[in-house]
Amino acid sequence: MPSITTNDLKTGITLELDNGLFQVVEFQHVKPGKGGAFVRTKLRNIRTGNVFDRTFNAGIKVEQAIINRDDMQFLYRDADDYVFMNNDTYEQMNVTSAALGEVADYLVEGMTAQLGFFNGEIIGAEIAASVELTIADTEPGVQGDRVSGARKPATLETGKVIQVPLFVEIGDKVRVDTRSGEYMTRV
């Protein structure tokens, strides 16, 4: 692992600290009038998603974790696992839903995801910021119920339930923001 100093920290860098892998969410280099400089950071635990504050003295060495990212195509779901194929080597691998996190709620067959690996272990997955999915089930909008901004629950083809406007019907394609899980527009 390459060592870097806390002066070299940037947002998005992954660090291997004594108790796990952490991604730098935010950092601030502070030089008070008295005493030594320090770096105040917000770190996100890669495995649990918990965010916490940690302060480092300026100039100390920390271990940077090298994360390998591969584009992989989602093929199908096999019981509790998701089967992906590497786009370069055509190797297939089973990935648990726990390793995918919230990304699993938006995966449809044929979609490409970017999986992050550290020492051969999958530590996360990323997909596009928005995806187009089909509405599998929703209640019909009631005639005359046209309150501005009214919403109703709808089940996507992946099984995730989101809130959509009253005019959305079964079979409609909608664009969903994968970061917040909110309806964006009808396609």
CATH number, domain 3-64: 2.30.30.30
| DSSP-assigned beta bridge partners for residue 5 | 61
pLDDT at 146: 63
The pTM for the full model equals: 0.75
Confidence of residue 110 (pLDDT cuts 50, 70, 90): very high
Q: Please answer whether residues 121 and 112 qualify as being in contact, where contact means their C-beta atoms are separated by less than 8 angstroms.
A: no
Question: Can you give the residue ranges of every domain in the chain?
Answer: 3-64, 68-126, 130-186
Question: Fold match between 3-64 and 68-126?
Answer: no
Please state which CATH number belongs to domain 68-126. 2.40.50.140
Query: What would the DSSP string read from start to end of 36-81?
Result: --EEEEEEEETTT--EEEEEEETT-EEEEP--EEEEEEEEEEETTE
Architecture of domain 130-186: Beta Barrel (2.40)
Specify whether the CB–CB gap between 23 and 14 falls below 8 A: yes
Query: What is the spatial distance between Cα 51 and Cα 29, in angstroms, rounded to a whole number?
Result: 19
What are 125-179's pLDDT values in tens digits? 889 999 999 999 998 876 666 666 788 899 999 999 999 988 889 999 999 999 8
At 73-87, the pLDDT tens digits run 999 998 889 999 998
pLDDT at 27: 92
Sheet holding 183-186, edge to edge: 161-165, 151-156, 130-138, 173-177, 183-186
In the block, residue with structure tokens 């005019």: 167
Q: Using the Cα atoms of residue 98, residue 102, residue 103 and residue 106 in order, give the sign of their dihedral.
A: positive
Give pLDDT, residue 120.
Answer: 83
CA proximity to 174, closest of 117, 130, 124: 130
